[in-house]
Structure formats: structure tokens, C-alpha cells
Structure 1
């Protein structure tokens, strides 16, 4: 990374999220000036409040864009179009967007962000390994059950630390503008196999419990998710787990020059860190 890039200011949206905090930390370690945007942080940024966007973007040279709750979600395309316009008006030099692999609605949102003309790099990621250890799934896994409507479909789970390394490289190195990368883990695992890997790492049984989409929607509603949101999530999972993403890519190697971390290494490190302590 050049000294010039070190002097840049990078806005990290959703900077307290699963990928945002990792990207912000890594950028800071490289000497980049980080503007950590979040709902309650020093730099207010809220996807549901467009009035926070322009102040956060003002003076930023680049931005890491990760949309909540998902780039394929309702309203994401409109939000990306408006955010792109705000970034262009603020004079932001480039954007790096986290997108979902194999999500047609996310591709529409990518295009909407691109309309404003700000140089854009898109990184489409597979299912995060950390979904098992950070967030709602972690409690169930800690209790010995991984419940999800995936059937026997295999997925190339990506480590969020690998994804963050990719994002930081794209944000700080030359040659990535205009590119679209698909990043995955190094091998395919079914959710049953993922549960077994986690079980080996924790030293206790973790059982995969396949459920139908309807059953999973009911579970989401029982824990307080509104019916409409629960239905949308189940529809997204159903689409993602139809097998069309059951392949690996070399996206991580393309950007970083190395292979992605193996799921077993992720599970071992997460267990060691106490992610699934009862």
C-alpha cells in the first residue's frame, strides 16, 4: 500500500457488523483513516435514515458498503441508487460493495449503485462461516443443534476474516476498480457436515436438524421477527439453498494470492475463543 493510500479516509458502513468491524480494524492497522459509521457510533450512519448518509460520506475518499439486512432485501435497490448519488455528490472516489453470491435481486442493487458513476468494485460472498458462531444461530449450536432449512445442499462457507482481508486489499490496492469477485471457502460442506466439524472442534455432539421453510418461518416469528420479514428471509434461504451455489471459486486467491481458510480451522478457532460455550 502506498503512503498516499494511507492518508485516505475510508467510510465503513455498518462498522459494528459482522464484516464491518473486521474491515475497520484491518484498515486502521494499515494506517488508513477510518470513519466507522454506525447507528449509535461517533459517525452516525443508518440505512433506514438517508439523512445520515451525506454527513458520513463528506470528505471520504472511499467507502466500504455493506447493506443491512441484505442486498437482496426489499428496498435495497432504491437505497443503493440513492446512496450512489450521495457518494457522487460528496466526491467519493471509489466504492467497494459487499454483495451476495447467486442472488439475482442483489445484482439489481449492484447495478443501481453503479448508476451514479462512482468507480465500483463488487465482492459477492457465499454463506459466512461466522453465521454459526456470531448471531442467532450460535445459541442453538451451543446447545447442540444446528437448525436450518438447507436439506442436504452443500455450501462453500467463507470465513468472514478472509472476506475482510479481501475487502481491505480491494480498498487499499490498485487494480480492482470495476471488478466483480466471487469469494467462497475452499470446499463444499452440507450443513450436516458443518455441524460435525463444529462438534469435533467443541468436543461434543452438534446435530443438524433440517426443517422446512414453513417451520423455520414459524421459529423466526416465535423469537420476535415480524411475519413479513420472516417470510422474506425464508424465501431468500430457499432460493440460496436450491443447489445453484454448490461450487467453489478462486476469488480469494485472485485477490490475496492465497487459499481461503478451511472450515475446520474456523471451527477450531471459534471453539477456542468460546463461541459455543454453554
Structure 2
């Protein structure tokens, strides 16, 4: 069996897929800027060496229009691949989605479907681990979640569930040609998220609803490029505009069990100490 290629293998989902494959004794190879051979989305000369000797790949594309376009080019040039599992997002291609980041995601999905590969596309809800392993962790530590999500809700999913679904899709060819939408078991607004995190951490955490333009300004002040700041704003606009207030059943269908609840995740994560200090 040739190793499974995990592109962006050190990210939140890639690490979990690698751990699942490792536990099952399935060979894999990570691809990132710190691996050998080196892989860089924005250096196309690194792509061929990363793919060589593999037939199956897990692809977690970069955020933003430019990164999504690069991921599409990679799929079209990935000579030797037979099977591809793509991390996308819920609602891609739904009516009313006029944001650049979703246009890019839809284009990437279409490239994958037209690639001639055996493909599976997994569309998860927002990751709960965004509050513990990504930039939202610093909001929790500061006691203020400052976002432009309005009063909209999202069916936040434990990224461990995403990793389990991805691994199953990689190893089971019966999911070829399927698009799997997955989420947590219930929707939560940002105000409800703040309440959940307050109870889990024992510290007061509030949600500050920013105007979208103020959100972009704060993100740029924090070091994001204007393009990336606009992409983050557009992602939260999906929640703000109440387009993500639904539960998807993919975890139950693929894994034969319900998805983990945000309350359980928050309490278990608080016990690790990630929100102390």
C-alpha cells in the first residue's frame, strides 16, 4: 500500500487524520513547508515531489480566494493520484452565497469533481477547536469574543469527529463520489458559545458583536492581510446572515454514532489548561 498523502498535514484536521491512520497502521506522508520533501501551496515547484509515490491524498486547502485557486491548480496537476478526499465547507454552492471565499470553494469543489479522480468532499460546520487551537483562543483568554457573527447560530463540530469522518472516507472507497455534510448535534449563537465557555472555564466570557467593517479593521491591526481579513469576515457573514442554522447528519451516517456536543468538548478542553494563563 502506498502512503496516503496528507496535504497541510500539520493543521487541525491533518493532525487528526494522521493520528487515526497511525493507530490503524496505515502508512502516510505529511506535506507542509516543514516536511521533506517540502510542500508550499504558493511554490508550485514543490508539488510534484510531494505527490510522487502516492495514490491517495487528503487535501485541506488554504483559506482565501488565492489559496483556494492554488489548491485547484494542485488538483489539476497531481499526476499519479487516484483518490482524493477534500475538506470543504457546509453550504458551498447554496443560493445567496455571494462571498468570494465561497465562490472559491465552489470552484475548487467543481475542479475536484471534474478531475477524473475518485473523490469524496467533506463539508463540515465550524470547528469547536477554533476556540482552543486557533485565533479564537486568544479571544477566550481575553474574556471577549470579538466577531461579526451577529445573532446567527452555527452547529459547531468537534474536530475529532471531522478527523474520524475524513479517515473513514480515505479508507472506504464506498464513499467515492459522495459529498458529506457534517456538523455538531445542535446550533449555538456566539452569545450561547460565550455562556458555554464561561461555565467550562469558570471565568466571565462575553460576546462582542462587531460591525463587519470594524471586524476587518481589527483583523488587519492583528496582522492579517486585507485579503485574509475579508475572507474571515465573509465566513462569519454566513453565520451573521443566519445561513448556517441547521444540523447535518453526516457524522451519524458515516460513523454510526452521534457527534460530540459542544458542552462536553468545552469541559474536556478546559480541563487541559489551554484557557489558563
TM-score by length of 2: 0.92
CA deviations over 1:66-119 (Å, ceiling 9, x no partner): 0012xxx313554243222222x22x1200000011233212211112222011
1:253 paired to 2:257: no
| In 2: Cα distance, 1:78 partner to 1:201 partner | 39
- Equivalent residue, structure 1, for 2:157: 158
Q: Is the 8 A contact 1:15 1:21 kept in 2?
A: yes
Q: CA offsets per residue over residues 20-53 of structure 1, 9 Å max, x none? A: 1111111111111110111112331111112111
Q: Is the 8 A contact 2:41 2:71 kept in 1?
A: no
1:20 aligned onto 2:41: no
TM-score in terms of structure 1 length: 0.92
Aligned counterparts, 1:106-255, within 5 A: 106-255=105-254
Preserved contact between residue 2 and residue 53 of structure 2 (Cα < 8 Å): no
Aligned residue for 2:92?
103
TM-superposed CA distance for 1:235, in Å, is: 2.7
RMSD: 1.4
Query: For structure 1, which segment, 227-236 or 60-69, has the greater mean C-alpha deviation from structure 2 after superposition?
Result: 227-236
**Partners in 1 of 2:219 and 2:53 — Cα distance?**
40
CA contact (8 A) 2:154 2:239 kept: no
Matches within 5 A, 1:81-100: 81-87=72-78, 89-90=79-80, 92-100=81-89
Distance 2:121 2:162 in 1: 12
User: Structure 1, unaligned stretches of length 5 or more?
Assistant: 1-6
Change (3 A) 1:81 1:217: closer
Structure 1 residue 10 corresponds to structure 2 residue 10: no
1:40-59 mapped onto 2 (5 Å cutoff): 40-59=34-53
Conserved in 1, the CA contact under 8 Å of 2:239 and 2:245?
no
Q: CA deviation at 1:241?
A: 3.0
Corresponding residue SS for 1:175: helix
Q: How many residues align?
A: 267
* C-alpha spacing 1:240/1:192, structure 2 compared with 1 (3 Å): closer
- Identify the residue that residue 268 of structure 1 maps to in structure 2: 267
Secondary structure of the residue that 2:251 maps to in structure 1? helix
Partners of 1:153 and 1:191 within 8 A in 2: yes
Q: Where in structure 2 are there 5+ consecutive unaligned residues?
A: 94-102
